[in-house]
A and B are shown apart, each in its own frame.
Chain A
Amino acid sequence: MSEELIQIETPFAFNEENQREFDELIGRYPIKEAAMLPTLHLAQRQAGYITPAVMKYVAELLEVTVMKVKDVVTFYPMFFEEPVGEYVIRVCHTLPCALRDCKVVLDHLKAKLDTDIASETNLAKGTTADGKFTLMKVECLASCDVAPVIMINDDLYKNLTAEKVDEILDNL
């Protein structure tokens, strides 16, 4: 990661609330590096996605190299390195949901939001033009008894049909 790239980004720092939470969680581990995942979750919640500036900030906090933070960010699908919509829609498409017609839900969402499905390397592809929604497929959400399911940000929606999807999107 070049210095230039870091400099053109707006610098990042935790706000007061997140700083408090960070101070609390860093005390849980015998080594600072272990707080990597919770810290990145906090940072992503504040910044929207993990920018180079965020990585630099987290690296300084945890006393590791920026490369090490990047290494972790690229491994886990829940961390985004590109901007995502206000609502991230995760559609489960693993076998139990597939047996309960998750394809109908996915196709309906695609048509309704008029967007493609985001891939991990190209989130913009699945983000609507107004930047409101990002549509992505995810692996099993561990709710196979109420399949098909989707997650919108932190909320799980169960036993979906095309009509229910409409209702959910209207109420957001």
Chain B
Amino acid sequence: MVEERRILYEHLDVPDINTFDVFRQYDGYTRFEKAIAEYQPEEIAQMVLDSGLKGRGGAGFSTGEKWSFVPRDIEPRYLCCNADESEPGTFSNRYVLEKNPHLLIEGILICCYAMGIETTYVYIRGEFTLGKKMLDAAIKEAYEKGYLGKDVRGTGLNIDIYTHPGAGAYICGEETGLIESLEGKRGQPRNKPPFPAVQGVFMKPTVVQNVETLCNLPFIVGNGVEWYTEMGPTYADTRFDPPKPDANTGTKLYCISGDVNEPGVYELDLGLTCTELIEVAGGLRGEEVKAVIPGGSSAPILTHYELDTRLDFTSLTLAKSMLGSGGIIVMNETRNIVDCLLNIMKFYAHESCGQCTPCRWGTPWVRDIVQRIADGNGRKDTITRPKFGVAENGRWGDTGETEEIYEDLDLLESVANNIANVDTMTWNTICVFGIAVSWPAVSYMRKFRPEFEAAIREGKLVTLPVAEATVPPEENYAYQQRFIPKEFADL
């Protein structure tokens, strides 16, 4: 049984930890004081780079590397804290904001010191009224105690933090969408480059970090890089010579929901498997796992064959999925995958910002196709055509067999792949929302194809037993595509 390792969430349930005095009793702000007393700003940035901390918001990009792109000679620079937590299945930031807001402020202070930033905007989603209230109160207290404002603790640093409420748009969680929204416009993502690190909010260099990423900083500074890197696996990327370490260090706030007995946030080292996580969350509610979504609704689904996949950034990328925001949704044998996909596609059709044509039109089309299949009106054709799959020579091609055409399934894949192609990982949209739509659409359909076919054939939703509903890994194109980490050996 895997044990929880609470670091970010260690004092979460301490009564009144949201007040300055109680937070102070639990080493609050001492890490920031250590940072300004013992280290130069560049040294902090180097520590963050060495720690291997990866952004916890979704993309999993190295935080230290991101900071290194920020030009230090352009003033002013900004920090945007992304608290627009809207990915279905993710809810860890909410608890930090509502229960321990001072920890976030301390993280922001360290980031501001390291990057020479004076102004921070915390973009909180509009629905987090309690979280915003708690954070505002904590910020007010920090100003009173001299940890924010002019000349912080007599060091000559000027640091301001402002909260900025969103208004219910999912796309504002995308970093450039967030920046546009912060500037008072529609939250439509920008073309990149220029990246926010160079031209972000108000066209100035901007660091955009998730709440959880910033909350890691006090502990990296307080306990040192070595302590931090001992947690979680580090792989060796042998595509580089000498092998480049691929760090998955630290803990992750795994949010687990759906069919488990004790849904909630569990703080665990990166790198445990799906099976272990379900066990930690009180076990499965039901008989059998049918599917697991590993990283918020945008992530490609994992079947029961893939439950041994380790939940870290590298392993999930190799498994053709992603850790994303760490929102894990478990489904048991009673769930119908067509129905689940319909629910998710309704979400994306609603949340598309409407900027790029493939996404504005394609997303509702995908939804309509899935709706049609779920309603029992899915289109099928009775002619047969050569079946593509893994041929005798072990490569992808004509297998010599024939298969029935399910027109709507081909159409679904075609529309989804024209928003963003999941095989080549190229998207025809400005932001990665395109991938977030076609990844679930195509992966659900490929991995649970029998259930989609049954719905079309029978003219109604049919929930098949897990073994029948899932395409075995050896026949699964998406699965075949994943390259087993031969190139990634344990260091």
Contacts and interface: CB of A to CB of B under 8 A. Distances in A.
Interface of A: 25, 28, 30-31, 33-38, 40-41, 62, 64, 68, 71-72, 75-79, 90, 93-96, 98-100, 138-147, 151, 154-156
Contact of B166 (A37, A99, A141, A143): A37
A100 B184 CA distance: 36
11 contacts: A41-B126, A72-B186, A76-B167, A78-B166, A95-B293, A95-B297, A99-B257, A139-B88, A139-B347, A145-B263, A154-B129
Interface stretch (B6-14, B327-335, B388-396, B408-416): B327-335
B135 to A, nearest CB: 14
Given A99-B258, A145-B255, A40 B89 contact: no
B94 A72 contact: no
A38 B86 contact: no
B88 A95 contact: yes
Contact of A79 (B167, B258, B331): B167
A95 B440 CA distance: 13
A95 B184 contact: no
Given A77-B167, A154-B129, A31 B297 contact: no
Contacts of B129: 154-155
A146 B91 CA distance: 10
B90 A36 contact: no
B257 A76 contact: no
A5 B71 CA distance: 49
A147 B127 contact: no
B130 interface: yes
10 residue pairs, one from A and one from B, having the closest CB atoms: A36-B184, A76-B167, A144-B257, A78-B168, A78-B167, A154-B129, A33-B184, A140-B88, A75-B186, A77-B168
Contact of B167 (A34, A41, A68, A140): A41
Most chain B beta-carbon contacts within 10 A, residue among A25, A68, A98, A147:
A98
Nearest to B202: A30
A151 B168 CA distance: 13
Contact of A94 (B168, B187, B202, B343): B343
B89 A95 contact: yes
Contacts of A76: 126, 166-169, 187
Given A77-B169, A141-B127, A95 B182 contact: no
Interface of B: 85-91, 93-94, 121, 125-130, 160, 162, 164-170, 181-187, 202, 255-259, 263-265, 293, 297, 327, 329, 331, 335, 340, 343-344, 347, 350-351, 353
Contacts of B327: 144
A77 B183 CA distance: 18
A31 B121 CA distance: 14
Contacts of A141: 127
B165 A41 contact: yes
B87 A140 contact: yes
Given A37-B184, A145-B255, A94 B88 contact: yes
Nearest to A64: B184
B440 to A, nearest CB: 10
Contact of A37 (B165, B202, B256, B343): B165
Contacts of A98: 340, 343
Nearest to B128: A142
Nearest to A98: B343
B25 to A, nearest CB: 28
B167 A99 contact: no
Nearest to A146: B263
Contacts of A41: 126, 165, 167
Contacts of A75: 169, 186-187, 353
Contacts of A96: 88-89, 257-258, 329
Contacts of B258: 95-96, 99-100, 144
Contacts of A100: 258
B23 to A, nearest CB: 23
